[in-house]
Chain A
Amino acid sequence: MLPALFPYKLLPYGFRRKYRPQRFIPKQKDLKSSYDVVIIGGGGHALACAYYLARDHGITNVCVLEKGYLAGGNTARNTAIIRSNYLTPEGVKFYEQSLNLYRDLSQAFDFNILYSERGHFTLAHTDAAVRTSRWRAEVNKQLGVDSELIFPDEIHRLCPHLNMSDKVRYPILGALYHPPGSIARHDAVAWGYARGATAMGAEVHQQTPVTGIIIENGTVKGVETPRGKVYANKVMQAVAGSTSVVAKMAGFRLPIRTIPLQACVSVPLKPFLDQIIVSGSLHVYVSQSSRGELVMGGSTDPYGLYSTRSTLDFKEGLLGHMLELLPMLGEVKILRQWAGMADMTPDFSPVMGLTPVKNYYIDSGWGTWGFKATPVCGMTMAHTIANDEPHDLIKPFYLDRFVEYAQVGEKGAASVGH
């Protein structure tokens, strides 16, 4: 058979009713004038919330309003690492729940999110960092999370590519090893939630920015969009990066600064790096994706900005440290670069739950750790919206903790040196 004729063999399937192509997400309908719940933002957290509202609480008259396209913000811009080896008991419990939900997501969606357990190393380059690693390991073990402090011999055995020399600026003295640390395909997570939520009745409206929030007597009544007013009993915002801008429409301020977080990937290489390598002191994290690209991220930019531009300074800083850890990458080229706008809080913990406006809920302050929280955020925010009461797991992350001096100092956040 001529190769050129081959495509025509598929043609008959196109005419058979049985093989009709199926839309992943239903075609966008007209915006209704009111819903039970309106969710501002169409990223992973928002879609997960719509999904769990329908699945766990039977609330299906839900509308997700997205300014751009589905999951095009920080859901598309993270480095897809999932782990639960945080420092504070509040953080550990929260993320352990998230990890457990992630493990079953492909099954729940009937859609492969390419969840891949790799083992996660947080390298320690100073005595202080070794101490914090021990502290984290013990907190983790106490809460049933698989986590251990290991030393250079063991690190070299598990990950022979790492440069264990002591003739470098920051020699590796130890590592917090977290075997369940994983990566997943971030787009698939958001799409899976979107498909699940819309199949149960929720609506997703893209290219529909919220331009105002309707509040009467301290209670939210709905939102304004260029497509008209949308009334709702309850409204949630999950718009990492633009959090303060949307909250300003609702009339309150937050302990959040918007700071870009940049990342990049290398050209695809043959699989060689199984593990996820993180160094808080060197501001480096790296893992190899299922496509073979090395996904690399660093610390947030040195100053706040509402922009997703990339800078050479960042690449120079990140790759200098990368080469210290993995010197054989010296000739490897960068393929893509990007940035996301991160919500940074003073204590590196999120701001979630109720707000000063009645029936208006917030999911924000995700800083450098939002992707890995997607399932548990959706689940706990759905609970919070349905019951008008914060879920137990997110109670420590309430907004007023800053004026009540009850911050949750999370040194286990990505790229925090110790």
Chain B
Amino acid sequence: MKIMNCPLNGPRNISEFAWGGEVKPMPDPASLDDRAWGDWLFLENNEAGVVREWWCHVPTSFWFIAERNTVTDEILKTYPASELFKERVNFAPSAKSPQAEKK
């Protein structure tokens, strides 16, 4: 069994983890048109090489970041998301967004 090092729980079997896809900066949903949103949501870089991805330790629902090589199947590094996201992300709709207008 392949082992992944969870930043919260230590080394665990890879079957305990769920793959969450590449880390990419989220654009502002309020200022985005539908095409750009679909682009962010569905289109992938699908890199062959070292990638930075979201992973989740399912039994503890702990989301973290892993860097791995998609050609050699090596996990290079895992760390908590707080190392990447220093500030809290604000998901609240801004005054201009369509959600806010409906209210």
Q: Quick one: which of A245, A257, A305 contacts B73, CB cutoff 8 A?
A: A305
Kindly list the 5 A-B residue pairs having the minimum CB-CB distance in the complex, ordered from nearest: A403-B38, A244-B46, A303-B19, A402-B42, A255-B42
A86 to chain B, nearest CB (A): 21
The answer to whether A257 touches B46, judged by C-beta atoms less than 8 angstroms apart, is yes
A253 touches B72 (CB 8 A): no
What secondary structure prevails in chain B residues at the interface with A? mixed
Tell me the nearest residue of chain B to A312, going by C-beta. B1
Given A403-B34, A404-B35, A405-B38, the answer on whether A245 and B48 have CB atoms closer than 8 Å is yes
The answer to whether B15 touches A403 (Cβ under 8 A) is no
CB 8 Å contact bits of B45-82 with A (1 = contact, 0 = none): 11110000000000000000000001111000000000
* A242 CB to nearest chain B CB (Å): 8
Give the residues in chain A near B17, CB-CB below 8 Å.
302
Contact B43 A404 (CB under 8 A): no
Tell yes or no: A258 within 8 A of B by CB. Answer: yes
A302-B19 contact given A244-B46, A255-B43, A313-B1, CB 8 Å threshold: yes
Q: Is the CB of B46 within 8 A of A304?
A: yes
What 0/1 pattern do residues 305 to 320 of A give for CB contact below 8 A with B? 1110101110000000
Say which size band chain A's interface belongs to. Answer: 20 to 34
A98-110 CB contact bits vs B (8 Å, 1 = yes)? 0000000000000
A327 within 8 A of B: no
State the CA gap A313–B42 with chains docked (Å): 29
Cβ-based interface call for A114 (8 A): no
Evaluate contact between B38 and A404: CB separation under 8 angstroms: yes
Does the CB pair A253–B15 fall under 8 Å? no
Q: Is A256 an interface residue (CB 8 A)?
A: yes
Min distance, Cβ B75 to any Cβ of chain A, angstroms:
10
Residues of B contacting A357 in the complex (Cβ-Cβ under 8 angstroms): none
Task: Collect the chain A residues with CB atoms within 8 Å of residue B47's CB.
Answer: 244
B21 x A403 contact (CB < 8 A) = no
* A254 interfacial contact with B, CB 8 Å: yes
In the complex, A68 has a CB within 8 A of chain B: no
Chain B residue numbers with a CB within 8 Å of A306 are: 48, 70-71
Asked whether any CB of chain B lies closer than 8 Å to the CB of A346, the reply is yes
Are the C-beta atoms of B38 and A257 separated by less than 8 Å?
no
In Å, the complex CA distance between A403 and B73 comes to 31
Known: A244-B48, A253-B46, A306-B48. 8 other contacts (CB 8 A): A255-B44, A257-B44, A304-B70, A305-B71, A305-B73, A307-B70, A307-B71, A403-B43
Give 22 pairs: A residue, B residue, CB < 8 Å, sorted on A: A242-B48, A244-B44, A244-B46, A245-B48, A254-B44, A254-B46, A258-B46, A302-B14, A302-B15, A302-B18, A303-B19, A304-B19, A304-B46, A305-B71, A306-B71, A307-B70, A312-B1, A402-B38, A403-B35, A403-B43, A404-B35, A405-B38
B39 contacts the other chain (CB 8 A): yes
Residue in B38, B39, B48, B71 whose Cβ sees the most chain A Cβ within 10 Å = B48
List of A residues within 8 angstroms of B21 by Cβ? 257
CB neighbors of B among A359-418 (8 A): 402-405
| B44 contact set on A, CB distance < 8 A | 244, 253-257
* Chain A proximity mask over B18-35: 1 for CB below 8 Å, otherwise 0: 110100000000000011
CB distance from B52 to the nearest CB of A (A): 13
Q: How far is the CA of A307 from the CA of B70 in the complex (A)?
A: 8
Contacts of A304 in B (CB 8 A): 19, 46, 70
Chain B contacts for A346, CB-based, 8 A = 42
Assembled-state Cα–Cα distance A256/B2 (Å)? 25
Residues of B within 8 A of A309 (CB): 73
